[in-house]
Chain A
Amino acid sequence: MSKTHVTTSINGEPVEFLCDPGDTLLDVLRNDLQMTGTKEGCGSGDCGACSVTMNGRLVCSCLVLGVEAEGAEIGTIEGIGSNDGLHVIQEKFLEHAALQCGVCTPGLIVSTKALLEENPNPTEEEARYYLAGNLCRCTGYDKIIRAVLDAAETMREGA
């Protein structure tokens, strides 16, 4: 099967790759571009570990084909935070001990960033429902929700 050439943008940088038409965006990120910060937990869109943004919209990269990235703007965990320091959401996850094993954490941080861009002042219930697509098996979500609400408050104060 011949490969398809795709031109896209990932975390603001131009990227080109060749992929099989059947490869998911997640396969391309992890196996072809070595961007392993995005995790695979289920491959069926149920766990959210592979959450990325595509043209500003939160998606499961296991449900997007690599070829669909053509001309799109993709945002991954590798694009959050910078050399100058962590993003507030990342800081709050650490401060609140909102991770144990950490494998769901990249997806949760990507989703939290999307949440706070849509809704800078979520209630606990709104945060819980927005993040319902991101499974965490270690924490029971308590400390995650506290980190998200604290990050929201800090970001509002800084805005």
Chain B
Amino acid sequence: MSEAREFKYIGQRTIRPDGFDKVTGRAQYGADLNLPGMIWGRTLRSPHAHAKILSIDTSKAEAHPDVFAVVTFKDFGSVEGESINAGEGAADVLDLARNCLADDKVLYHGHAIAAVAARTERVADDALALIEVKYEVLSPVLDVEDAMKDGAPILHEDMFTQGYEETPSSPSNIATRLEMKMGDIEAGFAEADVIVEREFRTPTAHQGYIEPHACTARYDEDGQSLVWCCTQGHFDVRTSTAKLLHIDLSKLKVVASEIGGGFGGKTVVYQEPVALALSRKSGRPVKMVMNRDEVFMATGPTSAAKLKAKVGAKKDGTITAMQGWMAYEAGAFKGSPMMPGVMTMFTPYDCGNVQVEGFDVVVNKCKVAAYRAPGAPQAEFAAEMVVNELAEELGMDPIELRLKNAAKEGTQTIYGPKLKTVGLVECLEAARDSDHYKSTLAEGCGRGIAAGFWFNIGGQSSVSINMNTDGTGTIIEGSPDIGGSRASMQMMAAEVLQIEPSRLKPIVADTDSLPYSQGTGGSRVTFATGMAVIEAAEDVVRQLKERAAAIWNVTAEQVDYVDGVAINTAGGEKMTLAEVCEAAEKTGGQISGTGNINARGAGPSFAVHLCDTKVDKETGKVDVVRYTAIQDAGKAIHPSYVEGQLQGGAVQGIGWALNEEYIYNDDGVMENPGFLDYRIPLASDLPMIEAIIVEVPNAFHPYGVRGVGESGIIPPLAAVGWSVGNAIGRKVEELPCSPPRVLSLIQNG
């Protein structure tokens, strides 16, 4: 798609089709399904961060009259280490099983050990106390530096660092070491007139979705089974659950409920295989709903990280070299998003001499999961902070410095391909020209700016569009709708069929009703599932032409389809879409289009954010007084929901930058597993978030779409961090900028 085109429905602000159910409370989420005869499951969790399990005695719990079943790791049978596609990227089945229920070791505070199903939730909770576990407590390893030291307690005796030419012979907590480079980093720094170098730290931060993980599972006598759950990818829940319980995919139906937020965190299974195992053992449907503290302690936040960034430039602002180092906490099992951190760190810059080294490190904390642009916010925080400092050292405007070095079409990336058409320059220009940037900074305030890059993905999406005899239709898709995507599916199908969007009902179907669809992640749904919708709608149009041709006794090529009307170019007759659908019985049966694709060509989305903060110098409290989020959407299908992604991402990033962090004591016990102490932003913490949509079309999508879900969480860390430092005349090196930390910076520098 190269030139601007006129759209009939794309770009409007329609009312979302699932909206009525959501404002009336009718919409059913993960915890909202009750089945006849249903009982409740609860999970026994480790009080220790690191311990060997010597024995588990479940006999007393099993003897309780209201307890129907107890399960442990043994109930998964034999599980072997093999890689499967589980959510965002590959996962090792054995690690997945050992995270759902611990095998011979507990690896973090809150690690699941056993589960009980009982008549009521309270009885199940009480019965957990009847399970006797004997532990041999081990020293916990709580941060990357300790974990990487020689002689550190080892989490997994069978883990040897990958990524060196020779795999080491002794086990290590470093799962993987990765280096990417291009050009000549030393020559690049030798050319530089100014070099800036700093070390940074970012905390463990949770997605903080408001809906806790919840599922209801039922295993029937004939081996057919059902899992109802809130997930970003029900086909991946099916894969993981079927693998752990050794059942055929066709015998497990997974229904994606409405989902109350995920942000990457609901891409992996925790309770689903356990609930189904409890149902298999008890013969009853089993519901499991996590408490909020379990969500914090035992589901996947994103990695705490230690990072180094170094950048060199000539006096005129030409960046000559960029170098990075990072160590990401994976939690208890390998698999932090270190690799995308390495790949994205300096991608907003057109610089030929780049080197980045990364480490994926296990520690005694909950296993991390994907969180909105996984791995990028930490790495790009470090990069953007040193670029801002470089601008300061050079006496250059930070936007002009970025414009001078901005990645654009043809820029070589460190991870292989050259960039196709991207909108970073346009975002920077929009930032420079914004009211916000032109405004005078209020007394005592600081201003920060940062850019962000995320790849976005395509992937497999399956869609059917079934037409009804009255000319309405159902769009059947397999991508759980986490933020309004059914509205954009409806609009894209309407654009092809040229009928009112409200005549099309989009639904997210269960795993029995469609071929495999990848989960909602990687900002892929509006792009990839949208492409599948367009393909299915085009298939419908093709059939409409064939059916009309059959009625007129002409060839399909002689039929045009314009504004929802089939036209016989030979004879001049016309039939509306509804008339062709009504006559389907006489022309070969009902009309149904399919679009089962593996979408390629996802367009990266760049973002640029501006942040003004005011710091209370006596308490260290930071207020965001003005905030602008600018991002390239390619083409905004539904501008309100695109703005919503920009605003929501920005505010999650603001929370990460200002307040959110996991606090552990020396024994590795999480001390703030609740919304009171893990403080996500409140309405009263924030100003309006100005959202500016830039549209540089992605040539690989019929309407030019780029995913917009993730990039918006990247810039806030440095935009806020730099702004705070700017306000107090200090350099921020550690997030969050919580009051004690800011006060200490003010007082001690």
Contact = CB atoms under 8 A, between A and B. Distances in A.
Contact of A90 (B23, B674, B682): B23
A25 interface: no
Nearest to B677: A46
Interface string B484-514: 1000000000000000000000000000000
Interface in B463-502: 482-484
B263 A102 contact: no
Given A41-B212, A137-B210, A140-B686, A101 B644 contact: no
A81 B34 CA distance: 25
A128 B684 contact: yes
B59 interface: no
A128 to B, nearest CB: 4
B292 interface: yes
A100 B645 CA distance: 9
B64 interface: no
Contacts of B19: 93-94, 99
Interface in A64-91: 76-78, 80-81, 86, 90
Contacts of B207: 137
Tell me the interface secondary structure of chain B in the complex: loop
Contacts of A90: 23-24
Contact of B680 (A103, A124, A135): A135
Contacts, number: 183
A49 interface: yes
B210 A36 contact: no
B122 A22 contact: yes
Best-surrounded residue of A81, A93, A105, A109 (most CB of chain B within 10 A): A105
A102 B22 contact: yes
Contacts of B681: 140-141
Best-surrounded residue of B25, B34, B208, B682 (most CB of chain A within 10 A): B25
A63 interface: no
A47 interface: yes
A131 B683 contact: yes
A28 interface: no
B686 A97 contact: no
A139 interface: yes
Tell me the interface secondary structure of chain A in the complex: loop
B632 interface: no
Interface in B613-663: 638, 640-641, 643-644, 647-648, 650-652
Interface residues of A, number: 60
Given A101-B482, A140-B689, A143-B640, A135 B648 contact: no
A78 B675 contact: no
Contacts of B27: 102
B13 interface: yes
A84 to B, nearest CB: 13
B209 interface: yes
Interface of A: 20, 22, 30-31, 34-44, 46-47, 49, 76-78, 80-81, 86, 90, 93-97, 99-106, 109, 124-125, 127-129, 131-146
Given A78-B25, A103-B29, A129-B684, 19 more contacts: A22-B122, A36-B28, A47-B210, A86-B20, A86-B24, A100-B644, A101-B262, A101-B482, A105-B22, A105-B23, A106-B23, A106-B25, A127-B683, A134-B683, A135-B210, A136-B683, A139-B648, A140-B652, A143-B644
